[in-house]
A and B are shown apart, each in its own frame.
Chain A
Amino acid sequence: MDEEYDAIVLGTGLKECILSGMLSVSGKKVLHIDRNKYYGGESASLTPLSELFTKFGAPAPDESTYGRGRDWNVDLIPKFLMANGQLVKLLIHTGVTRYLEFKCVEGSYVYKGGKISKVPVDQKEALASDLMGMFEKRRFRNFLLFVQDLKEDDPRTWKDLDINSTTTLQLYEKFGLDKNTQDFTGHALAFYRDDAYLDDLAIKTIRRIKLYSDSLARYGKSPYLYPMYGLGELPQGFARLSAIYGGTYMLDKPVDEIVLENGKVVGVRSGSEVARCKQVYCDPSYVPERVKKVGQVIRCICLLNHPVANTKNALSTQIIIPQKQVNRRSDIYISVVSYTHQVAAEGWFIAMVSTTVETADPSKEIQPALDLLGAVHQKFIHVSDYFEPTDNGTESQIFISSSYDATTHFETTCMDVVDIFKRGTGEDFDFSKVKADLGQEEQ
């Protein structure tokens, strides 16, 4: 440990592992430390099942009920990958995709008036959907066609709309979409978590809907992907990338002090050892004095031995409950994965409910979601604080990631990573630096 590094990365959560991989690939000498004896931090998938029960102080699970403990890999933070999103691009450009296998999530549903309906994603589904009346369907279809055909660099496709000044609400009004349609479009297709976007630029909403439909076009059934053996495989893949490019890994290593000189980081101390460095990259848990709490996220892990009702027995689904439907200010998300992803024993499903906390009684807030799940065998609720760094790190050279938010996919995660990388290195990540000489490429 007593060496000098360009960067020391603390914590092996997904964001830190992507950063570690990107820094190593850029030729930096990286030391990557985790205080835990496992990879992944909060992004780990817990295995065997008893680890999950122990974490929440529950009596050990019975194998005659839950099957073999090590057939389970339970995520603590539920998210899906958008098939055409940032993380998939990062996986492909860095070659980390070779370490992983994925399955397409089978369906995407939205909650309306106490029941769930499939999110219509193309004109054919829009016409068959039970979310809208006859005339509304036509208007929605026209809207979808407009969005799909729109090209930002070709004003002819803008249809008399100034995409640089029009708000989303004006866009909706132009197509005559009613409140209900606006609701599922904004929340289930564009993934806005509240309604502030209505007054923001329409082009932002259009880009998000395009991401949804481009992702859907990649693999078919839904725009989401989920890795075999759980999300914990993602940080491990990037950790391997970092190691292959020379990054050194230390687990189970306490971090006692981040050593500063004149307000600038010079090293990290563990016990009596000090590793010197020019920069530190870390998650909020390593620097409690340099982050501020900006909110809370509630996540509820539910173990079920049946699929969710009205999802055509799907082995994986996402269900979005738009805020307005349940008189809230932020959406509630449900993600369901199962034994088909090697994250649960045969016949079992893991449903995760998550949302931003709005009241003093967060477990009551997620009740509408729990009502959709039916009989829940075991339920674990955890409320976690959401932290953001108090500064951008340029002075101290300590670059801190934000906590994982309640969003249902990795887009904000990647935006944070790319932004931190740029702040830390002064440059955009150059994907061409990832050479193809790692063994040999897939043919």
Chain B
Amino acid sequence: MASIKVPEQKVILCGEYGVGKSSLFRRYAYDTFVSGSSRQLTLGLDHYNKEYRINDKSIGLQLWDTGGMERVASITSSYYKFAEAAILVFSLDNAASFHVLSQHLLEIVTYAENAKIFLCGNKMDLEGSTPQVTEADMESFCEQCHNLISATYKTSCKTGEGVEEMFRDIAYHLVQSNRSRIELQSVDVNAFKIAPAEEVTEPSCLC
């Protein structure tokens, strides 16, 4: 434990099935886009670490996908635990996916009460054809949420527009809000992850 590592900041994706959470994940992680929507596409997506450098400070974002659990059931409460940020994702061409966000917001504030919350309208490439959610709608949502929303974004996973900018901005917000905490390393020092035991070829001698 010679070097102090800046802890990864857990960032979770929240929102209805089909709004493009896994597409955001895939853009973020591999900068790819797969068209068409099939359940298969979400398979195997768990979480992905990425480093950002913000004004001389480096911060690791660890983005988590839902694993598709929200398709029929609800997401486990443990998905939210330890999250530093949550991105509420909706589809700009689907008003229903926007109006249901208050429900997702409630789960975030219940299970990840310290997380910073961001609002992301995805599929902006489709917005022109069927504009269902406007900037004004997004603004009034933020007002209704008593300023719980730290920032809003519009993205297109298809073209890649706005995606990297969003994650960079979220990294910036987290550096700002966590500055003192990261410097003090005041994360719970007693809790740990379990890892495979070191393979010891020769059992240690007790004599």
Contacts and interface: CB of A to CB of B under 8 A. Distances in A.
A101 B198 CA distance: 19
A314 to B, nearest CB: 13
B193 interface: yes
A195 to B, nearest CB: 29
Interface string A3-41: 000000000000000000000000000000000010100
A217 B9 CA distance: 31
A55 B82 CA distance: 28
B136 interface: no
B48 A440 contact: yes
A149 interface: yes
Contacts of B195: 92, 97, 442
A245 interface: yes
B45 to A, nearest CB: 7
B206 A102 contact: no
B72 A250 contact: yes
B4 interface: no
A438 B197 contact: no
Looking at chain A's contact residues, the main secondary structure is mixed
B76 A239 contact: yes
A229 interface: yes
A243 B78 contact: no
Nearest to A95: B46
A439 interface: yes
A309 interface: no
A238 B144 CA distance: 36
Given A103-B190, A243-B68, A251 B110 contact: no
A98 interface: yes
A409 interface: no
B194 A91 contact: yes
B158 interface: no
Contacts of A239: 69, 76
B76 A101 contact: no
B168 interface: no
B196 A92 contact: yes
Nearest to B77: A236
Interface in B68-104: 68-69, 71-74, 76-79, 81-82
Contacts of B68: 243
Contacts of A440: 47-49
Given A244-B45, A251-B73, A98 B78 contact: no
Given A233-B81, A244-B43, A251-B73, A102 B194 contact: yes
A149 B191 CA distance: 31
B67 interface: yes
B44 interface: yes
Interface string A232-247: 1100110110011110
Nearest to B81: A229
Contacts of A340: 190
B138 interface: no
Interface of B: 29, 39-40, 43-49, 65, 67-69, 71-74, 76-79, 81-82, 110, 190-197, 206
- Counting from the closest, the 8 A-B pairs by CB-CB distance are A438-B46, A249-B73, A236-B76, A243-B67, A439-B46, A236-B78, A251-B73, A101-B191
Interface of A: 37, 39, 47, 70, 83-84, 88, 91-92, 95, 97-104, 123, 145, 148-149, 218-219, 225, 228-229, 232-233, 236-237, 239-240, 243-246, 248-251, 340, 437-440, 442-443
